[in-house]
Amino acid sequence: MFRTEPTGIEPLVVFRVLFGTLMAVGAIRFMANGWIERLYGEPVLFFYYPGFSWIPVPDVSGMYLLYTVIALSAMAIAFGWHYRVSTIIFFITFSWSELSDLTNYLNHYWLVIFLAFLLIWLPAHRAFSIDVRRNPNLAVSHVPRWCIDILKIQIGLVYFFAGLAKLNADWLFHAMPLAIWLPEKTGIPILGLVFGLKWTPHILSWGGAMYDLSIPFLLLFRRTRSMAYLGVIGFHLLTHVLFNIGQFPAIMITTTLIFFSPEWHQRLLSFFKYNPKNHNYIYKPNVRFSFISLALSFWILVQVFMPLRHLAYPGNVLWNEHGYRFSWRVMLVEKNGWIRFTVIDRATGRKAEVINSTYLTDFQEKQMAIQPDLIVQFAQFLGQTYRENYAFTDPVVRADSHVALNGRVSRRFINPDADLNLPTSHWTGPYRWVIPWDNSDRP
């Protein structure tokens, strides 16, 4: 499966330079736009990923320091300066920033983390880098083909599972949620006229599914690669115009260049005085290939299992979201909800209704109201708060919750009789506090 024959290092070099540059720009942009104050200065409570409640959340000054380190380590990756250490630092600090609050989850942030982890082990600094200038003995012209293939596989899996997730009735037959979003974009010059047409959401829904499912395979073959990459550019420029999805379009446009041949990347690097003849050597890892093959196979197995794990749980994953994250379900849901919590002391009968905004920002409340595990996290927080601050002996937390999914009428989301002050062990099984999905109505 994993080929060891040598291939030019140039695709790996270009990937390193573009990845590091884009991540540095992203971190600087994050700080310049004041998002640190909004996302980490305003909240009283931060939601955590299961198993990562121990991650400390820095204050605003600490978060600025963290993002400065992210930017500097990303620049070091781009220039190939102390590459291995810089990549490890970037991986740790970027992961730390993303683990600080689950409500900030975005698919492409986790793609960045996965790619950074892979880069730690790849010899992307062995050409066109400061490390090679400092130590010419590091220079190589060729690497084993698996060094390139693992990045192709990682990016290809993102596309493929994004397409696979679109093969559902809402997306294909009801054009949801594009049928909700596109009419809001009619003010865009020229394109807005098309977005207002009734059939446009259906065409774009089918086109998006076919694009995601086919693009990794079209990029693999030389005859279709150039046209496929033009499709990549067009698709992601369109999503950039239509939706506020941050760096995702730029990440996908730049990373998919890994599919082009070493000769193509040589021509690109030649504009920067790159000369592969200066170091005509082949990179040879210090570990046996059998171990490398086992590690790569395990990585791919995890990447395949994660998007499919929702199949182990009953119900509609778009509704209960058990297995929704880390599965490349991009832009599949328009979900809105409201929730009101009541805390009852089982011992005394005392009762209190919670004002969510006392503890959550508007953004956090919006995200919490539609995600079952965040609802339980907030309920746990309320139970502890009312026990410590209001002398509730045995607090029970219940919720009155309604959610609307992909244009449907709002319906009850959480069992109103369930005590949500649950231990985290409940997260490993089905979310039993969520009312099962009823597919009787249409968007």
Which tens digits make up the pLDDT trace of 106-156? Answer: 999 999 999 999 999 999 999 999 999 999 999 999 999 999 999 999 999
Q: Does some domain include residue 434?
A: no
State how far the Cα of 190 lies from the Cα of 123, in Å rounded to an integer.
Answer: 46
Q: Does some domain include residue 33?
A: yes
Residues 151 and 263 in one domain: yes
Tokens of 190: 């020229």
Residues 384 and 300 in one domain: no
Q: Does some domain include residue 329?
A: no
Q: Does some domain include residue 443?
A: no
Question: In sequence order, which ranges of 273-402 are alpha helices (DSSP H)?
Answer: 289-308, 317-320, 362-368, 372-389
- CA dihedral of residues 248, 254, 259, 265 (deg, nearest 10): -170
Domain end position, chosen among 276, 311, 346 = 311
Residues 260 and 392 in one domain: no
Residues 419 and 270 in one domain: no
State how far the Cα of 172 lies from the Cα of 202, in Å rounded to an integer.
Answer: 7
Residues 385 and 239 in one domain: no
The range of the structural domain enclosing residue 403 comes to 334-428
Residues 241 and 352 in one domain: no
Residues 393 and 302 in one domain: no
Q: pTM of the predicted model, to two decimals?
A: 0.94
Domain end position, chosen among 277, 311, 345 = 311
Q: Does some domain include residue 411?
A: yes
Tokens of 365: 């409340």
The predicted pLDDT at position 2 comes to 80
Q: Does some domain include residue 318?
A: no
In the chain, which residues have pLDDT < 50? none
The predicted pLDDT at position 424 comes to 65
Q: Does some domain include residue 321?
A: no
Percent of the chain with pLDDT over 70: 98
User: Per the structure, how many domains does the chain have?
Assistant: 2
Among the listed residues 124, 120, 116, 79, the one whose alpha carbon sits nearest the alpha carbon of residue 97: 116
Domain end position, chosen among 264, 296, 311 = 311
- DSSP, residue by residue, 134-148: H-GGG--SEEETHHH
Residues 54 and 200 in one domain: yes
The predicted pLDDT at position 288 comes to 86
Residues 217 and 347 in one domain: no
Tokens of 406: 């992909």
Whole-Å CA distances, 5 to 2, 73, 145, 318: 9, 31, 6, 43
pLDDT tens-place string over residues 20-63 = 999 999 999 999 999 999 999 999 999 999 889 999 999 999 99
Residues 307 and 375 in one domain: no
Cis before 177? omega within 30: yes
Residues 340 and 227 in one domain: no
What three-state secondary structure class fits 129? coil
The predicted pLDDT at position 427 comes to 62
CB 40 within 8 A of CB 95: no
End-to-end Cα separation, the chain, in angstroms: 44
The predicted pLDDT at position 280 comes to 67
CB 255 within 8 A of CB 155: yes
Residue type, 77: I
The predicted pLDDT at position 226 comes to 96
Whole-Å CA distances, 200 to 62, 98, 214, 315, 408: 46, 35, 21, 30, 20
The predicted pLDDT at position 167 comes to 96
Q: Does some domain include residue 403?
A: yes
Residues 282 and 354 in one domain: no
